[in-house]
């Protein structure tokens, strides 16, 4: 299963990248985050593996996230015409996900965030129901992006909104 979602954020790309790359901000916009703990490497660096725990609808999911691409490596002073890439693989029981994030600056003070997602599922049952869940996965990805936008632009913290 594959899908793409995107959102415009009314901030310069450099500021958006700073906020996305800082692990201290994850709980403020990543709805349902219980833990994001590096197991090896430094947060956001290629090859880093992290334990990620998310809670949604009374269900807790634990997975391993591996950063597969961060380009450029130094995110300071990236030329406006250059695309910033963040990519990762997420593995949980019966599921594999590749998330490919691209950030561009289509105009002054505006960032376009495009997120391409690919999912593969283990087990016959999940593979059969996955197409029916496509909308659920897409909506969840979109919700994370909207939560980040609200955090970045207005300082809205999902923990205050969701309790």
CA pair distance 91, 126, nearest whole angstrom: 15
Question: For residues 144 and 6, is the Cβ–Cβ distance under 8 A?
Answer: no
Token pair recorded at residue 118: 């690919």
What is the reported pLDDT for 162?
Answer: 61
| Count of alpha carbons within 13 angstroms of residue 38, beta-carbon side | 12
CA pair distance 154, 119, nearest whole angstrom: 32
CA pair distance 55, 31, nearest whole angstrom: 8
The tens place of each residue's pLDDT in the chain, 163 residues long, gives: 899 999 999 999 999 999 998 999 999 999 999 999 999 988 889 999 999 999 988 889 999 999 999 999 888 888 888 999 999 999 998 889 999 999 999 999 999 999 999 999 887 777 777 777 778 889 999 999 999 999 999 999 998 976 5
Predicted structure pTM score: 0.90
What is the reported pLDDT for 74?
Answer: 86
What is the reported pLDDT for 57?
Answer: 82
> Can you give the C-alpha Rg of the chain in angstroms?
16
């Amino acid at each position: 299963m594959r899908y793409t979602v995107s959102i415009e954020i009314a901030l310069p790309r450099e500021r958006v990248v700073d906020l996305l790359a800082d692990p201290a901000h994850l709980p403020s916009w990543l709805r349902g985050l219980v833990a994001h703990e590096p197991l090896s490497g430094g947060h956001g660096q290629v090859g880093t593996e992290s334990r990620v725990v998310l809670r949604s609808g009374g269900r807790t999911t634990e997975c391993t996230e591996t950063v597969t691409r961060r380009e450029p490596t130094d995110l300071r002073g990236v030329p406006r015409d250059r695309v910033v890439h963040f990519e990762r693989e997420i593995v949980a029981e019966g599921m594999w996900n590749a998330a490919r994030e691209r950030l561009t600056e289509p105009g002054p003070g505006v960032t376009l965030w495009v997120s391409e997602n690919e999912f593969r599922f283990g087990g016959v049952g999940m593979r059969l129901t996955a197409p029916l869940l496509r909308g659920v996965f897409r909506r969840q990805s979109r919700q994370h992006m909207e939560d980040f936008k609200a955090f970045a632009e207005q300082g809205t913290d999902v923990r205050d909104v969701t309790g």
